[in-house]
Structure formats: C-alpha cells, structure tokens
Amino acid sequence: MDQALEVVHASTPQQMAQAWTIRRRVFIEEQHVPEEIELDEDDARAFHALARLGTRAVGCGRFVALGDDEIKIGRMAVLRELRGRDIGRAILNFLMDEARRQGFRRAVLHAQLSAEGFYLKHGFEPRGEVFEEAGIPHRKMERPL
C-alpha cells in the first residue's frame, strides 16, 4: 500500500455515507444481501469504524453493546480489490481496542463461513452450529477482550 492506512471513528454524516457506500458494494451488490436487512436499526446506536487509504474510504465495521460487558461486532467489509492487505485486521483491532476502552470484556460476532479463518487468527472461537443469515452460512464466534 502506497498510502498509510488509517482507521477512524466514523462519526460525521460524510463518514457514515462512506461506510454505507462500502457496505452497499460488499453486502448488497456483491453478496446480494437484501437492503432492508443490511441497513438496520442498530446503525443508530452502533460505534462505527472507517478505514481510509489517504482520502479513499476502503473498509468499515461496527459494534453494538449487548448489555454492560459484551459487544457484537458486525458489518465488517473491505472493498474487494483491497482484500488481503490487513485492512480487515486493522478495523477489527480498532473496534476491539475501542470496546476495551469503553469497559467491555467480551466480543461476539456472526462470521460468514468464508471469513471464519480470519476471525480464528484473531482469537475468536466458534460457538454452536452453522446457521443461515441473509442466505449466507454463518457461525457464532466469541472471544474475551
């Protein structure tokens, strides 16, 4: 990567629009997730992260509090042409660091089976059987923060 990767808290309307553009490309256009499932009510209360290379938004993710000590990480997405360059790792670490800073102690997520290896490398452990979400096989995973 020629430019430095930066992950920031997506807190402005412009940053959120950039995150939604990435989610639309990855989940709705590429993976055919229905729009009404992808853009949900949790967006309003989630902590959002946005990855940028220079001024270009290239990835995103979020977490939602599930009580006082647990978060659910989700909507992790990196533009197809930039996958495999540690952008997802940087987003995941940013989200987990922020969750720790806020006092959370455990993270859960619903990993697409195709991404299970990625999360295993980052300390997540599978829980339970494979299930379908938005027509895509997933598995619940969790880890302490």
- What is the model's pLDDT at position 22? 98
Helices (H) and strands (E) in the chain, counts: 4, 7
Domain count, the chain: 1
List, for residues 91-100, the tens digit of each pLDDT value: 999 999 999 9
**Using one digit for the tens of pLDDT, what is the confidence trace for 54-83?**
999 999 999 999 989 999 999 999 999 999
Q: Is 86 helix (H, G, I), strand (E, B) or coil?
A: coil
Q: What is the pLDDT of residue 1?
A: 47
Q: What is the C-alpha to C-alpha distance for residues 12 and 142, in angstroms, rounded to an integer? A: 29
Q: What is the mean pLDDT of residues 111-140?
A: 95
Say which CATH number the domain at 135 has: 3.40.630.30
pLDDT digit string, tens, across residues 4-20: 999 999 999 999 999 99
- 24-49 pLDDT, tens digit each: 999 999 999 988 888 888 999 999 99
Q: At 59, which amino acid appears?
A: G
CA distances from 117 to 12, 125, 141 (A): 32, 10, 11
Q: Starting at the edge strand that comes first in sequence, how are the strands of the sheet with 70-78 ordered? A: 5-9, 47-53, 56-65, 70-78, 106-112, 136-144, 125-133
Q: Supply the mean pLDDT for the chain.
A: 95
Q: What is the residue-wise DSSP string for 107-133?
A: EEEEEEGGGHHHHHHTT-EEEEEEEEE
Strand, coil or helix: 40:
coil
Find the mean pLDDT for residues 114-136.
95
pTM of the model: 0.94
By residue range, what is the domain housing residue 85?
Answer: 5-144
Q: Is the pLDDT reported for residue 2 higher than 70?
A: no
